[in-house]
Structure 1
């Protein structure tokens, strides 16, 4: 394959392809939590490669195709750039690479306001797709990574920043939920799962804050209770979305299916992470089972992606599956 088709391929990937980084990264985090370090590192390597490919495409559009960059920046899927960066940063922080994680947090924080504003300022009267919940996911991703770094570096100001992002993410979730098109539950092609995944990453952020020594007394109690409420709500969404998929199967591959895999992995990881700080030990076995479902979904989605790419030669529309 010559250099030009290769470059056309990676610069042609749509913003929602960032969900593949999010999905792979959170599965890497989950695998580490259950002791499968080698599998976790393999998933981390894939995450890092995918992130670099998408980052290169992001920069190429920013510097060489401004019209397309502006058009894509106005879509909710653009926020996967922020969320994917925070997920990768959280996994690197687990490895003890706090310097790299801090750089990724700074990068995500720089990208976040502009992309969030571009999404929120459009179409106030329209019903929203599931991808709109990425406004919450990206914000809670900042909370998770800031909380991780606060604990690792013993920097209280990062904990306060994490708490602020946690609260703002919940407000954004409520704002999007009031305009969410519920028909997406039975008709959506993948990103409707973010409605549940956004609550899962909120629960993960809550678990990280609950585990932090910064919060004690009544503050700790409130965080613990809120984390459990969010996690139970995300599990309820999980059950509803699985039932809807069984009732109305959507088997054709779409890039937005990575936005299904991410909530599967995030719900599992949130349950695993919340078990100890909330004292709800029953969450750990639940998280372990859900994580293997997420791994299976990742394998199936990746196989479908490869099959689709091999069957599609130089598509005219880079957004075509």
Structure 2
């Protein structure tokens, strides 16, 4: 479009999968907060918040001015990164004591969730990439934020609603698993890691529900508490099993080329670390804490590597000559 700057044109081409960058940055901020690295945590929170605002503005602009494109993208699983990113950001904001802002983010994510989820579920089919698990991730993201806010504000109904979302997320995972193309483990461009990350965020949600049950806010009877502990522990073990499988696949079938979906690798890595740290605290069991800290720094290293690759890729794209008038359709918009 005449008068549009190269930077603005480049930004307008970002696919919905770019929301995974906010998810990855936000969950690392949560993990660093859990380990006491508050300065680093807040720096990443600022970055995540700035990226969220930019993507939210782009989301709104497409809804208002590019309705056809918005509708096409809203039906893709990657669109659910908008819900998950909002939930992760709200969880970190709640830890700062900004409960009103966290509540507003929860309300926004809850409004988007059914609209996007129903559209995405209607397009599920066989042999899908790891993004198929984002239905579970988005739902569990709401559960995590709901349970976190319930504990902070002593709100029983919110905790019970989060419990419903927790179980619904697990059901969505079970339905997504047969649709997942197993070959993505060795061929995927990055989002195959969401297969494990979805279990990790489910374990995080379970740990937050356990932590919400207290003397000030009694929620679950002994049977429900025991089931929740057992399921949360099992989810964490399964998430770790996926982590090992996917890490071995990365070593055996290297895929060094940058792709925006690599942010969907960093997010599960950080989420697994955050889940281990949260489960260790909620279940009062020490074994996940040490490995969780190790995995957190591995995730930070992965974030730095993918971030550097993203900057270099953006530089190369911005240096490319603009397409000739009338040739807008020549340049592919496929994510790299």
TM-score (norm 1): 0.97
The residue aligned with 2:167 is 167
The residue aligned with 1:139 is 139
The residue aligned with 2:283 is 278
Quick check: 1:10–1:54 contact (8 Å CA) kept in 2?
A: no
The residue aligned with 1:102 is 103
State the secondary structure of the residue aligned to 1:312. Answer: helix
Question: Per-residue deviation at 1:242?
Answer: 0.2
- Alpha-carbon distance in structure 1 between the residues aligned to 2:335 and 2:252: 26
- Alpha-carbon distance in structure 1 between the residues aligned to 2:124 and 2:82: 22
- Alpha-carbon distance in structure 2 between the residues aligned to 1:177 and 1:59: 32
Q: Structure 1 residues 53-62 or 213-222, which shifts more?
A: 213-222
- Alpha-carbon distance in structure 2 between the residues aligned to 1:93 and 1:216: 26
The residue aligned with 2:325 is none
State the secondary structure of the residue aligned to 2:182. Answer: coil
Alignment match of 1:288 (pick from 293, 302, 306): 293
The residue aligned with 1:269 is 274
Pair 1:299 & 2:304 matched: yes
Quick check: 1:224–1:277 contact (8 Å CA) kept in 2?
A: no
Pair 1:221 & 2:226 matched: yes
State the secondary structure of the residue aligned to 1:189. Answer: coil
Q: Structure 1 residues 8-17 or 127-136, which shifts more?
A: 8-17
Question: Per-residue deviation at 1:320?
Answer: 4.1
Question: Per-residue deviation at 1:190?
Answer: 0.2
Mark the CA change 1:61 to 1:303 in structure 2 (over 3 Å): closer, same or farther: same
The residue aligned with 2:316 is 311
Q: Structure 1 residues 244-253 or 275-284, which shifts more?
A: 275-284
Q: Structure 1 residues 6-15 or 21-30, which shifts more?
A: 6-15
Question: Per-residue deviation at 1:129?
Answer: 1.2
The residue aligned with 2:157 is 157
Deviations 1:25-63 (A, max 9, x none): 000000010010000000000000000110011001000
State the secondary structure of the residue aligned to 1:270. Answer: helix
Question: Per-residue deviation at 1:303?
Answer: 0.2
Pair 1:52 & 2:57 matched: no
Quick check: 1:13–1:319 contact (8 Å CA) kept in 2?
A: no
- Alpha-carbon distance in structure 1 between the residues aligned to 2:31 and 2:123: 35
List, as ranges, runs of 4+ consecutive aligned residues in structure 1 with deviation greater than 6 Å.
none
Pair 1:260 & 2:261 matched: no
The residue aligned with 1:25 is 26
- Alpha-carbon distance in structure 1 between the residues aligned to 2:99 and 2:274: 20
The residue aligned with 1:249 is 254
State the secondary structure of the residue aligned to 1:264. Answer: helix
The residue aligned with 1:239 is 244
Quick check: 2:10–2:317 contact (8 Å CA) kept in 1?
A: no
- Alpha-carbon distance in structure 2 between the residues aligned to 1:215 and 1:275: 20
- Between Structure 1 and Structure 2, how many residues are aligned? 319
Q: Structure 1 residues 4-13 or 136-145, which shifts more?
A: 4-13
State the secondary structure of the residue aligned to 2:5. Answer: helix
The residue aligned with 1:200 is 200
State the secondary structure of the residue aligned to 1:157. Answer: helix
| Larger of the two Rg values belongs to structure | 2
The residue aligned with 2:327 is none
Quick check: 1:80–1:134 contact (8 Å CA) kept in 2?
A: yes
Quick check: 2:173–2:198 contact (8 Å CA) kept in 1?
A: yes
Question: Per-residue deviation at 1:184?
Answer: 0.4
Query: Residues 66-81 of structure 1 correspond to what in structure 2 (within 5 A)?
Result: 66-81=67-82
Question: Per-residue deviation at 1:8?
Answer: 2.1
Query: Residues 5-20 of structure 1 correspond to what in structure 2 (within 5 A)?
Result: 5-20=6-21
Question: Per-residue deviation at 1:85?
Answer: 0.3
Query: Residues 123-138 of structure 1 correspond to what in structure 2 (within 5 A)?
Result: 123-124=124-125, 126-138=126-138
Question: Per-residue deviation at 1:217?
Answer: 1.2
TM-score (norm 2): 0.93
- Alpha-carbon distance in structure 2 between the residues aligned to 1:106 and 1:11: 27
Question: Per-residue deviation at 1:216?
Answer: 3.7
